[in-house]
Structure 1
Amino acid sequence: MTTTEITDPRPLYAAALSWAHDVVRGVRPSQLDGPTPCTEFDVRTLLAHLVATVDRAAALGKGIDAASTPSFVPAAPDDGWGTAYGDAISAMWTVWRDGPGSDDLLDRTVTAPFGTVPGRAAVLAYTSETLVHGWDLAVATGQDAEANPAVARAVLAMMQRFLPAEPRGGRIPFAPPVPPRDDAGPTEQLANWCGRGRA
Structure 2
Amino acid sequence: MTTQPVHDPRRSFAQALDQTARQIAATRPDELGKRTPCADYDVRALLGHLIAVLHKLVHVSVGGDARELPDVVRDIADDAWGGAFAEARGEVERAWADDAMLDRMVTLPWGTMPGRVALDAYTHEFTVHSWDLAHATGRLADLEPALAVEALQAFVEFAPPDERGEQGPFGPVVQVSEDAAPYTRLAAYLGRQP
Question: Do Structure 1 and Structure 2 share a fold, with TM-score over 0.5?
Answer: yes
Q: Which has the higher contact order (CA 8 A, sep 6+)?
A: 1
State the alpha-carbon separation in 2 of the partners of residues 43 and 153 from structure 1: 24
After superposing the two structures, state which structure 1 stretch, 78-87 or 189-198, moved more.
Answer: 189-198
For residues 5 and 153 of structure 1, do their structure 2 counterparts lie closer, same or farther at Cα, with a shift above 3 Å needed? farther
Correspondence for 1:47: 47
Change beyond 3 A, Cα 1:73–1:6 = farther
| Inter-partner Cα distance in structure 2 for 1:171 and 1:78 | 31
How many Å separate the matches in 2 of 1:189 and 1:6? 29
- Map 1:90-169 → 2, pairs under 5 A: 90-97=90-97, 102-144=98-140, 147-169=143-165
Measure, in 2, the Cα distance between the counterparts of 1:108 and 1:91.
Answer: 18
SS of 1:117 mapped into structure 2: strand
Give the deviation of 1:120 after TM superposition: 1.0
Q: Percent identity?
A: 41
Which residue identity lines up with residue 63 of structure 2 in the other structure? G
Q: Can you give the 5+ residue segments of structure 1 that lack an aligned partner in the other structure?
A: none
User: How far apart, CA to CA, are the structure 2 residues paired with 1:149 and 1:5?
Assistant: 25
* 1:25 alignment partner, SS class: helix
Shift of 1:143: 0.8
Is 1:77 matched with 2:73?
Answer: no
Aligned residue type for 2:57: A
The residue type equivalent to 1:112 in the other structure is L
2:70 and 2:146 map into 1 onto residues whose CA distance is 31
Q: Is the 8 A contact 2:32 2:42 kept in 1?
A: yes
Residues in 2 aligned to 1:127 and 1:78: alpha-carbon distance in whole angstroms: 25
Q: Which moved more, 1:124-133 or 1:149-158?
A: 149-158
Are the equivalent residues in 2 in contact too, given 1:57–1:126 (CA < 8 A)?
A: no
Structure 1 residue 42: Cα displacement: 1.1
Residues 5 and 16 (structure 1), Cα distance of their counterparts in 2 relative to 1, 3 Å cut: farther
Matched, 1:188 2:184: yes
Q: What displacement does 1:145 show?
A: 5.3
Give, in whole Å, the separation in 1 of the partners of 2:102 and 2:167: 25
Aligned residues: 191
**Contact preservation (8 Å) 2:127, 2:147:** no
Whole-angstrom CA distance in 2 between matches of 1:6 and 1:12? 14
Of 147-156 and 37-46, the range deviating more from structure 2: 147-156
1:34 corresponds to which residue?
A: 34
Q: Deviations over 1:136-194 (max 9, x none)?
A: 01110111356322232222212211221212125754212222356642233223222
20 and 184 in structure 1: CA distance in 2 versus 1, 3 angstrom threshold: farther
CA deviation after TM superposition for structure 1 residue 111, in Å: 0.6
Q: Is the CA contact 2:33–2:43 (under 8 Å) kept in the aligned structure 1?
A: yes
**2: CA distance, partners of 1:23 / 1:85:** 11
SS of aligned partner of 1:18: helix
TM-score under structure 2 length normalisation: 0.89
